[in-house]
Amino acid sequence: MTVEVLAFIGGTGPEGLGLAARFAAAGHEIVVGSRSPERARQAADSIKARVPQARVAGVANQEAVRKGDIVFLTIPFAGHRDTLEALASAIGGKTVVDVVAPVSFEDGRPTAAAVPEGSAAQQAQALLPKAQVVAAFHHLDASRLARVEQPMETDVLVCGDDRAAKEMVMALAEKIEGVRALDAGPLANSRYLEEFTALLLSLNKTYKAHTSLKIVGIRSGPKG
Ligand SMILES: NC(=O)c1ccc[n+]([C@@H]2O[C@H](COP(=O)([O-])OP(=O)(O)OC[C@H]3O[C@@H](n4cnc5c(N)ncnc54)[C@H](OP(=O)(O)O)[C@@H]3O)[C@@H](O)[C@H]2O)c1
Name the domain count of the chain: 1
Largest Cα separation within the chain, whole Å, is 48
Do the domain assignments include residue 94?
yes
Question: Residue 2's pLDDT is what?
Answer: 75
| CB-based contacts of 98, cutoff 8 Å, min separation 6 | 73, 120, 121, 124, 133, 134, 135, 136, 190
Do the domain assignments include residue 23?
yes
- Indicate the SS3 state at residue 95: strand
Do the domain assignments include residue 220?
no
Do the domain assignments include residue 212?
no
d(CA 71, CA 125): 13
Q: Is the dihedral of CA 152, 112, 158, 155 positive or negative?
A: positive
Q: Which residues of the chain have pLDDT under 50?
A: none
Do the domain assignments include residue 103?
yes
d(CA 220, CA 136): 20
* Residue nearest atom 30 in ligand 1 by C-alpha distance: 79
Do the domain assignments include residue 82?
yes
pLDDT digits (tens, 9 = 90+) for 183-211: 999 999 999 999 999 999 999 999 999 99
CATH number at residue 196: 3.40.50.720
Do the domain assignments include residue 165?
yes
CB atoms within 10 A of CB 186: 14
pLDDT digits (tens, 9 = 90+) for 54-91: 999 999 999 999 999 999 999 999 999 999 999 999 99
Do the domain assignments include residue 221?
no
Question: Residue 128's pLDDT is what?
Answer: 98
Q: Which domain holds residue 90?
A: 5-207
Cβ–ligand 1 contact at 75 (below 6 Å): yes
- Which ligand 1 atom is nearest residue 77's CA? 45
Query: Cβ-count burial of 161 within 10 angstroms (0-12 exposed, 13-18 middle, 19+ buried)?
Result: middle
76 Cα to the center of ligand 1, angstroms: 4
Indicate the top mutation candidate among 22, 47, 74 to test ligand 1's pocket, ranked by most ligand atoms within 8 A of CB.
Answer: 74
Question: Residue 1's pLDDT is what?
Answer: 67
- Which ligand 1 atom is nearest residue 101's CA? 47
- Contact by Cβ (8 Å): 17, 46: yes
> Is 0.85 topped by the overall pTM?
yes
Cβ–ligand 1 contact at 95 (below 6 Å): no
d(CA 53, CA 47): 10
Question: Residue 224's pLDDT is what?
Answer: 61
